[in-house]
């Protein structure tokens, strides 16, 4: 991760000189938070079948926290945990992370190490306390059959329970190389069946209510607000388009390497195959700086830097 990426994100957040209302602490906090989110984004960029996963889990977590009547600062913190929850997958080999089939027991055991890896990556980071529970414990289950610690309901932090149900819901409704994404009704049914065992009963019910009333539709199948995933004819809905991209630009399927040109069909952009494949340069990871900057700015505005830092210090003592 290059420091100039963090500087560019910071410029997007603070394009002009700092005003009297913008404290140095807020700018520093923004830069620290951007550093974490860029690292997390690189995990997603390695897996072509999870385009937008971090953004979707973050948005689902925000909606659930709001529906649960949590205060705005806590909503922001839990939403951040949703964006960063898979940080530890940086340590998972590509052969496993990108495998186009179901994992073997041995491979699944490697995947299960990512919460521990995430904690190792957070070690020493000034903001670790804000999101460590979401990173480390989002695969725990109320019935004690989760990992990495096998905690039961009363010992699983609230943010981990919220992010856990959101992560599972997005996994069920997203396309994978070995299966299509589930219909909404089926995914909500699985959440309902797992209430109190696999999923937090209260926040699981809230997710079901939001899903049944259409309040998740603008997130499901999208990679950013108002930007649906586009489909590769070989690989399915795997094309994550950045907000600033325009008609005529080329995009590439990160799975098969196919090249597409963006076309304006009056309602939204669509992607038409060119019949060519991208070069290694074309297929390299491009950080979505605008999405990250907007996410950071939303968090900082929702929870002032002083309060964020205070919560970080409190969490660090636990």
Mean pLDDT of 26-55: 79
Please report, to the nearest 10 degrees, the dihedral formed by the alpha carbons of residues 224, 63, 122, 222 taken in order: -20
Q: Report which of residues 69 and 297 the model is more confident about.
A: 69
Whole-number mean pLDDT of the chain?
A: 86
The pLDDT of residue 56 is above 80: yes
89 noted as active-site residue: yes
Q: Report which of residues 101 and 150 the model is more confident about.
A: 150
Q: 2 exposed, middle or buried (CB, 10 Å; 0-12, 13-18, 19+)? A: exposed
pLDDT category of residue 315 using cuts at 50, 70 and 90: low
Structure pTM? Answer: 0.88
Mean pLDDT of 297-313: 63
Q: What CATH number has the domain spanning 3-226+287-317? A: 1.10.3210.10
The two three-digit tokens of residue 256, written as one number: 């098969």
Mean pLDDT of 94-110: 89
pLDDT category of residue 84 using cuts at 50, 70 and 90: very high
The pLDDT of residue 307 is above 80: no
pLDDT at 46: 77
The pLDDT of residue 43 is above 50: yes
Q: Report which of residues 309 and 92 the model is more confident about.
A: 92
Q: What is the pLDDT of residues 241-300, one digit of tens each?
A: 888 889 999 999 888 899 999 998 777 789 999 999 999 998 887 777 778 877 777 777
Distances (CA, A) of 82 to 12, 104, 127, 256: 22, 27, 15, 28
Mean pLDDT of 48-69: 91
The two three-digit tokens of residue 269, written as one number: 């952009």
Q: Report which of residues 1 and 148 the model is more confident about.
A: 148
Among 69, 89, 112, 132, the active-site one is 89
pLDDT at 118: 95
Please report, to the nearest 10 degrees, the dihedral formed by the alpha carbons of residues 274, 276, 277, 281 taken in order: -80
Mean pLDDT of 135-157: 98
Q: What percent of the chain has pLDDT over 90?
A: 51
Kindly state the DSSP code that residue 176 receives in the 8-state scheme. B
Return the sign of the alpha-carbon dihedral for residues 163, 49, 120, 308.
negative
pLDDT at 158: 97
Q: What is the pLDDT of residues 199-253, one digit of tens each?
A: 999 999 999 999 999 999 999 999 888 889 998 888 888 888 888 889 999 999 8
Mean pLDDT of 107-133: 93
- Cα angle, residue 313 at apex, residues 308 and 315 outer, rounded to 5°: 90
pLDDT at 2: 46
Q: Report which of residues 49 and 254 the model is more confident about.
A: 254
Q: Do 288 and 45 touch, CB atoms closer than 8 A? A: no
Q: What percent of the chain has pLDDT over 70?
A: 85
C-alpha–C-alpha distance, residues 64 and 138, integer Å: 15
Q: 125 exposed, middle or buried (CB, 10 Å; 0-12, 13-18, 19+)? A: middle
Nearest residue to 78 via CA among 130, 18, 24: 130
pLDDT at 47: 75
pLDDT category of residue 1 using cuts at 50, 70 and 90: very low
pLDDT category of residue 194 using cuts at 50, 70 and 90: very high
Domain segments of the chain: what residues?
A: 3-226+287-317
């Amino acid at each position: 991760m290059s420091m100039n990426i963090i500087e560019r994100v910071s410029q997007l957040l603070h394009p002009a000189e700092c005003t009297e209302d913008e404290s140095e602490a807020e700018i520093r906090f923004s830069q620290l938070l951007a550093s974490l989110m860029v690292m997390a984004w690189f995990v997603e960029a390695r897996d072509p079948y999870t385009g937008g996963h971090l953004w979707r889990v973050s948005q689902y977590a925000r909606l659930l926290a709001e529906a649960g009547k949590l205060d705005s600062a806590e909503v922001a913190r839990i939403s951040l945990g949703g964006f960063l929850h898979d940080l530890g997958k940086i340590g998972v080999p590509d052969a496993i992370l990108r495998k186009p089939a179901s994992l073997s027991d041995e491979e699944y055991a490697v995947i299960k190490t990512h919460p521990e890896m995430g904690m190792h990556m957070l070690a020493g980071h000034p903001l670790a306390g804000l999101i460590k529970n979401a990173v480390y414990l989002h695969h725990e289950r109320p019935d004690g059959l989760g990992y990495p610690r096998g905690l039961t309901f009363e010992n699983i932090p609230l943010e981990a329970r919220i992010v856990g149900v959101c992560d599972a819901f997005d996994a069920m409704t997203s396309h994978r190389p070995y299966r299509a994404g589930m219909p909404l009704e089926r995914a909500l049914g699985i959440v309902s069946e797992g209430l109190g065992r696999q999923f937090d009963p209260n926040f699981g019910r809230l997710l079901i209510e939001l899903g049944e009333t259409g309040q998740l539709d603008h997130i499901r199948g999208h990679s950013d607000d108002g930007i649906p995933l586009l489909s590769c004819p070989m690989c399915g809905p795997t094309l994550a388009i950045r907000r600033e991209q325009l008609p005529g630009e080329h995009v590439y399927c990160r799975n098969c390497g196919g090249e597409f040109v963006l076309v304006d069909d009056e309602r939204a952009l669509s992607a038409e195959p060119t019949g060519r494949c991208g070069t290694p340069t074309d297929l390299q990871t491009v950080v979505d700086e605008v999405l990250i900057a907007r996410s950071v700015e939303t968090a900082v505005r929702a929870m002032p830097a002083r309060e964020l830092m205070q919560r970080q210090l409190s969490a660090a003592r636990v």
